[in-house]
Amino acid sequence: MTAPAAAPGDPPLIEALHAGRVLGGTVPVTLVKDATLTIGKGEFVAITGPSGSGKSSLLYLLGLLDHPTSGEVRIRGEATAGMDDDERASLRLATIGFVFQFHFLLPEFSALANVMIPMRRLGVRSDREMRTRAEEILASLGLADHGHKRPDQLSGGQRQRVAVARALANDPPLILADEPTGSLDTKSTGQVFDILDGIVRREGRTVVAVTHDLDLAGRMQRRIHLVDGMIVSDKAATAPVA
């Protein structure tokens, strides 16, 4: 089991304390139940489980996209329950990068412009710095020559890499990925996985990825397995990292 690599007094990056999510309605549906976990800096965590087990729902709770109906989620020790939507949005903007199964790039904007959008929203860099940084990120992901292309001119794997670049735009310590390779072929899957792996190893960021690909999950440092919305195991991956 990977212990939180944080020194005392330095709160973990992300914590869930008995977090649960129940969809209201005439027949309430439990998505996540009593999830307690701690994820520190520089971890590469897989969330696995059968479909419908609440993997994505847990990720949305951790990423502040959704509110827990019970328990709480803390980011760097800070309780998020009392935050309003705007505060959560600001926290997401600067702290969390998302990658989804579908690239979700804005179709009318070039790859470069898509990567720049979160930076422009944050508004701490000058136009030139933003452009330079976006070009650097794209180049580091092997997309140096594709910055001017629109998403529909890119392959599936390239699009997903642009989406990763966009998640990295504001230099967040945490990347949350929801089936990032779910719609990719084997080769692209390998590329995207290597990129995520590199983000953890070289840049010291934390990546939490939902996946149903047990082979991939096995290559990550830590695996959290869910069944019916409950965490049934949380341990270091058995297979050695390649």
Partner 1 sequence: MIRLLLDLALTHIAGRGRQTAVSVLGVALGVGFSIAMAALMQGSQNDLIDTLVTEYPHVTVSVDTRKPRPQPASDVFDAAAYSGLRPRDDRRGILNPAAVESALRSWVPGRVSGTLALQATARYGGSDVGVQVIGIDPDRYVTVAPLADNMVQGRVADLKATASRIIMGDGVAEKLGASVGSTVTLSSSQGIARRFKVVGIFNSGVSAEDDVMVYVFLKNAQTLAEQSSAISDIRVSLDDPYQADAVADRIERTVALDAKSWQEANQSLLEAIFVRNVIMYTVVGAILLVAGFGIFNIVSTITHEKARDIAILKSLGFRAADMRRLFLLEGLAMGTVGSVLGWALGFALTMVLGSIRFEVKAEVEMTHLPVTVDWTHYALAAVFAMASAAIAGYLPARRAASLNPVDIIRGAT
List contacts with partner 1 (CB under 8 A). Answer: 56, 60, 63, 65-66, 85-86, 89-94, 96, 98, 100-102, 104, 106, 108-109, 117-118, 120-123, 166, 178-179, 182
Distance between CA atoms of residues 54 and 50, nearest Å: 9
Shortest Å, Cβ 9 to partner 1: 28
Token look-up 């005439």 returns: 26
Shortest Å, Cβ 130 to partner 1: 10
Whose Cβ is closer to partner 1: residue 10's or residue 108's?
Answer: 108
Whose Cβ is closer to partner 1: residue 60's or residue 234's?
Answer: 60
Distance between CA atoms of residues 131 and 112, nearest Å: 8
Contact 226, 71 (CB under 8 A): no
Whose Cβ is closer to partner 1: residue 9's or residue 123's?
Answer: 123
Whose Cβ is closer to partner 1: residue 133's or residue 222's?
Answer: 133
Shortest Å, Cβ 33 to partner 1: 18
Which residue in 109, 167, 118 sits closest to 138, CA to CA?
167
Shortest Å, Cβ 127 to partner 1: 9
Whose Cβ is closer to partner 1: residue 121's or residue 235's?
Answer: 121
Whose Cβ is closer to partner 1: residue 120's or residue 235's?
Answer: 120
Shortest Å, Cβ 7 to partner 1: 28
Distance between CA atoms of residues 173 and 198, nearest Å: 14
Distance between CA atoms of residues 207 and 50, nearest Å: 20
Distances (CA, A) of 142 to 9, 41, 59, 172: 39, 25, 27, 20
Shortest Å, Cβ 202 to partner 1: 24
Cα four-point dihedral sign 139, 134, 56, 230: positive
Which helix or strand (DSSP H or E) is residue 91 part of? Answer: helix 85-95
Shortest Å, Cβ 134 to partner 1: 13
Token look-up 């019970």 returns: 70
Contact 216, 193 (CB under 8 A): yes
Which residue in 74, 75, 73, 69 sits closest to 21, CA to CA?
69
Whose Cβ is closer to partner 1: residue 89's or residue 144's?
Answer: 89
Terminal Cα-to-Cα distance of the chain (whole angstroms): 18
